[in-house]
């Protein structure tokens, strides 16, 4: 970066921090994008004059509301919920809902901001949004979760619609929650529309949606490795998380001949030095998806549980963080590098801290950022919207083929904008520039709106 580029970046970031005090996750996400695009942005006076960077970092609107619900024992609880409708230059707002005690406006703004560029990269007509609540579904009964979802939708339904804003799942929001939310939307609006994605297969859901983020991440990782003449087969892969993304990333890794040596949850990790078998994976899937169990209760030959540990100390060639933001820090990156890691492909959103990213870049580790490598989920959500609009449903093979093609195209766009002479492709720069450019073009074409 030249000194002029650095000066412009610092001035811009100073203003952003002043306008959005204390929103550290949002600052981090914006800085990453602004750092990548600044050289390109400064060469394009027309975008600067149109103030695209200032406008794209300001959400169109944020809706904040109270969600009141009743526990099984009759006590009243109140939570806070948000929908951040960030930018709809490319299509109706689209992005998941997260239920987790760590949810704040800053977290949802970072996620909504990232979503703009991710959705742009898919090539599908989708704007960026994110929403959620600080409600903790862990330990709640099905009926409590249902009452919470119904109460949340009682407010949210006014702000969404198939051509306005189409939410989906994220951490803490899976098939059960999407179904409760969708049922309440229909009750209030008295019509069926594809207003949420991630629905059950019998009521408008798409084949392969559940698998899409994890599988898509591994398709991207495989393309990235192939581009650098590395074979994924036989490589050890450390995966973090054991939710929707992690489980299906692990399944596809095994399918491609890699050895899945870890999975984790907020309590600890399982270590399997020889790699999980498909039978062990299926037992784990049942434990997590059907029984809502913890990894600490998983017992199988060759598998050890380590309480309080994350996977990054385990030797591996591929690291796939699939839990949450900032779960892989500078020390973790140094350990991975010392152990010979070749590639990091993000299943989660912004799982790598800024310092860890710097380490990976300095040491020529291939690094696929979430906005590129986990875009498979929202891509199949986009395909779910198309199927709903046409009142048809495609077979799993067809959706899977489209998913693979979308991930290949995203990889190609990253290479186009991220190639660096004598160095591995910068997927961070490539995804940021390619994603930004398309949204910027649309915003400029609309004039000052
Ligand atoms: P799930 O709720 O299904 O699973 C989350 C997993 O991560 C669980 O194993 C959970 O453990 C673990 N986890 C969550 N928070 C923490 C934490 N603070 N510390 C340690 N472990 C944690 O979520 P998803 O799999 O859907 O999402 C995972 C990531 O992928 C998120 O960053 C999400 O934004 C991103 N993503 C998801 C998409 C999707 O289609 N679902 C699409 C694109 C991105 P525990 O159960 O102990 O809390």
Cα(189) to ligand 1 centroid in Å equals 31
Cα(250) to ligand 1 centroid in Å equals 14
Given 139, 161, 190, the domain boundary residue is 190
Given 56, 82, 98, the domain boundary residue is 56
Whether 228 and 88 share a structural domain? no
pLDDT tens digits for 318-331?
Answer: 999 999 999 999 99
Domain count, the chain: 3
Tell whether 114 is covered by a domain.
yes
Tell whether 202 is covered by a domain.
no
Whether 182 and 245 share a structural domain? no
Q: What is the residue-averaged pLDDT of the chain?
A: 97
What integer pLDDT is reported at residue 449 of this predicted model? 75
Q: Whose CA is nearest to atom 27 of ligand 1?
A: 171
Tell whether 435 is covered by a domain.
no
Whether 244 and 99 share a structural domain? no
Q: Quick one: which atom of ligand 1 is closest to the CA of 325?
A: 32
Whether 21 and 124 share a structural domain? no
Looking at the DSSP bridge assignments, the partners of residue 133 are 81, 99
pTM of structure = 0.97
Whether 366 and 217 share a structural domain? yes
Cα(245) to ligand 1 centroid in Å equals 7
pLDDT tens digits for 325-363?
Answer: 999 999 999 999 999 999 999 999 999 999 999 999 999
Whether 75 and 14 share a structural domain? no
Tell whether 361 is covered by a domain.
yes
* % of the chain residues with pLDDT over 70: 100
Tell whether 405 is covered by a domain.
no
Whether 41 and 133 share a structural domain? no
Cα(330) to ligand 1 centroid in Å equals 21
In testing the pocket of ligand 1, which one of 110, 210, 324, 372 has its CB within 8 Å of the most ligand atoms?
324
pLDDT tens digits for 131-168?
Answer: 999 999 999 999 999 999 999 999 999 999 999 999 99
- Per-residue pLDDT tens, the chain, 449 aa: give them: 899 999 999 999 999 999 999 999 999 999 999 999 999 999 999 999 999 999 999 999 999 999 999 999 999 999 999 999 999 999 999 999 999 999 999 999 999 999 999 999 999 999 999 999 999 999 999 999 999 999 999 999 999 999 999 999 999 999 999 999 999 999 999 999 999 999 999 999 999 999 999 999 999 999 999 999 999 999 999 999 999 999 999 999 999 999 999 999 999 999 999 999 999 999 999 999 999 999 999 999 999 999 999 999 999 999 999 999 999 999 999 999 999 999 999 999 999 999 999 999 999 999 999 999 999 999 999 999 999 999 999 999 999 999 999 999 999 999 999 999 999 999 999 999 999 999 999 999 999 87
Whether 297 and 241 share a structural domain? yes
Range of the domain at 177: 61-190
Tell whether 144 is covered by a domain.
yes
Given 322, 349, 373, the domain boundary residue is 373
What integer pLDDT is reported at residue 394 of this predicted model? 98
Q: Given the residues 130, 252, 288, 438, select the one marked as catalytic.
A: 130
Whether 52 and 98 share a structural domain? no
pLDDT tens digits for 93-119?
Answer: 999 999 999 999 999 999 999 999 999
Tell whether 90 is covered by a domain.
yes
Whether 250 and 152 share a structural domain? no
Residues with CB under 6 A from ligand 1: 169-172, 213, 241-246, 265-267, 322-324, 347-349, 374, 377
Q: Quick one: which atom of ligand 1 is closest to the CA of 247?
A: 25
User: Is 140 among the residues known to form the active site?
Assistant: no
């Amino acid at each position: 970066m030249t000194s002029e580029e650095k000066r412009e970046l610092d001035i811009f970031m100073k203003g952003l921090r002043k306008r959005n005090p204390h929103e550290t996750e949002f600052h981090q996400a914006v800085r990453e994008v602004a750092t990548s695009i600044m050289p390109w942005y400064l060469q394009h006076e027309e975008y600067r004059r149109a103030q695209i960077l200032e406008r794209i970092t300001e959400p169109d609107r944020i809706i904040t509301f109270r969600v009141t619900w009743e526990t099984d024992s009759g006590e009243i609880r109140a939570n806070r919920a948000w929908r951040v409708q960030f930018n709809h230059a490319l299509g109706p707002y689209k992005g998941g809902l997260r239920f987790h005690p760590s949810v704040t406006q800053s977290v949802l703004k970072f996620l909504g901001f990232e979503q703009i560029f991710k959705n742009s990269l898919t090539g599908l007509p989708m704007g960026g949004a994110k929403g959620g609540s600080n409600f903790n579904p862990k330990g709640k009964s099905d009926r409590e979760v249902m009452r919470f979802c119904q109460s949340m939708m009682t407010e949210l339904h006014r702000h969404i619609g198939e051509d306005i804003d189409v939410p989906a799942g994220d951490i803490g929001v899976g098939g059960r929650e999407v179904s409760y939310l969708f049922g309440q939307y229909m009750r209030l609006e008295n019509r069926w529309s594809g207003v949420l994605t991630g629905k059950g297969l019998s009521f408008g859901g798409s084949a392969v949606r559940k698998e899409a983020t994890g599988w898509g991440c591994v398709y991207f990782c495989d393309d990235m490795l192939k581009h650098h003449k590395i074979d994924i087969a036989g490589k050890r892969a450390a995966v973090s998380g054991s939710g929707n993304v992690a489980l299906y990333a692990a399944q596809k890794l095994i399918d491609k001949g890699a050895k899945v040596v870890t999975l984790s949850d907020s309590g600890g990790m399982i270590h399997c030095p020889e790699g999980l078998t498909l039978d062990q994976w299926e037992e784990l899937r049942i434990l997590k998806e059907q029984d809502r169990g913890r990894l600490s209760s998983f017992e199988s030959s060759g598998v050890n549980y380590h309480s309080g540990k994350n996977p990054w100390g385990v030797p591996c060639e591929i690291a796939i963080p699939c839990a949450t933001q900032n779960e892989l820090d500078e020390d973790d990156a140094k350990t991975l590098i010392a152990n010979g890691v070749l590639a990091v492909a993000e299943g989660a959103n912004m799982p790598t801290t800024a310092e860890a990213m710097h380490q990976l870049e300095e040491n020529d580790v291939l690094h696929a950022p979430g906005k590129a490598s986990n875009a498979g989920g929202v891509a199949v959500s986009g395909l779910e919207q198309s199927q709903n609009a046409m009142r048809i449903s495609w077979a799993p093979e067809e959706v899977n083929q489209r998913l693979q093609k979308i991930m290949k195209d995203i990889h190609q766009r990253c290479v186009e904008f991220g190639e660096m002479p004598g160095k591995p492709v910068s997927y961070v720069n490539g995804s940021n520039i390619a994603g930004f450019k398309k949204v910027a073009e649309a915003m400029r074409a609309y004039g000052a709106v």
